[in-house]
Amino acid sequence: MFIEYEKLIVNKRKYTKTKRAELQKQTRERIVEAVVALHEELGPANTSIKAVAERAGVQRLTVYRYFPDNFSLFQACSSHWLSLNPPPNVIDWATIQKANEQTYAALLAFYKYYRRTEPMWTRIYRDVEDIEALRKSMEEFEAYLDQVCDVIMKNWRIRGKREQQISLTLRHSLSFATWRSLKHEKLEDIQIVELVMSWVHAAKTL
């Protein structure tokens, strides 16, 4: 009888710990989702802890308990948003043999991605210079764009001055700012790709 009672107590404690852990996980997720939503609506610079707490339905101290500084909060926000909105994967076009076709596919993939996620990128790039905690995440994304450019350049098989010209053209063309500036000229993504391809071919002849 005593052994059975002891098992019951142990099981109850396990259940309580599991339940508590699940509630903590849910609270953390609500906070992160609130940050993501506010960053997309207002931008990081205009998102206060008070606003995050209100959106998540928790106290300000609860936000600080889970995220004691901006770095941990922004890292969680960035990871969550990117898990829902992953950038184009190099694997999707890495096996394309022809340089023109590979470049076209990569550019179109990124431009469609930027169009779909424009509000968040607009606010992030606007605020990144003012918020140190954002810079690491953005540096990682910029480094990824460098890698994409390197993959594309291998297929062009060009050396010397022309290689540098094409590389600079491609890297500039892969950036969100370039896409957005051309999008504001009322160009569709395919039209932007075709324009960029004309730049690349012009650089090839320099």
CATH number, domain containing residue 77: 1.10.357.10
Structural domain ending residue among the three candidates 84, 100, 123: 84
CA angle 95, 100, 105 (to 5 degrees): 60
Predicted TM-score (pTM) of this structure: 0.87
| C-alpha–C-alpha distance, residues 188 and 185, integer Å | 9
| C-alpha–C-alpha distance, residues 133 and 86, integer Å | 20
36 close to 81: Cβ distance less than 8 angstroms: yes
User: Are residues 65 and 130 located together in one domain of the fold?
Assistant: no
User: Are residues 72 and 101 located together in one domain of the fold?
Assistant: no
DSSP 85: S
User: Are residues 127 and 73 located together in one domain of the fold?
Assistant: no
Give me the tens of pLDDT residue by residue for the chain, a chain 206 residues long. Answer: 555 555 555 555 555 567 777 888 999 999 999 999 999 999 999 999 999 999 999 999 999 999 999 889 999 999 999 999 999 999 998 889 999 999 999 999 999 999 999 999 999 999 999 998 888 889 999 999 999 999 999 989 888 888 899 999 999 999 999 999 999 999 999 999 999 999 999 988 87
Structural domain ending residue among the three candidates 84, 116, 136: 84
User: Are residues 53 and 6 located together in one domain of the fold?
Assistant: yes
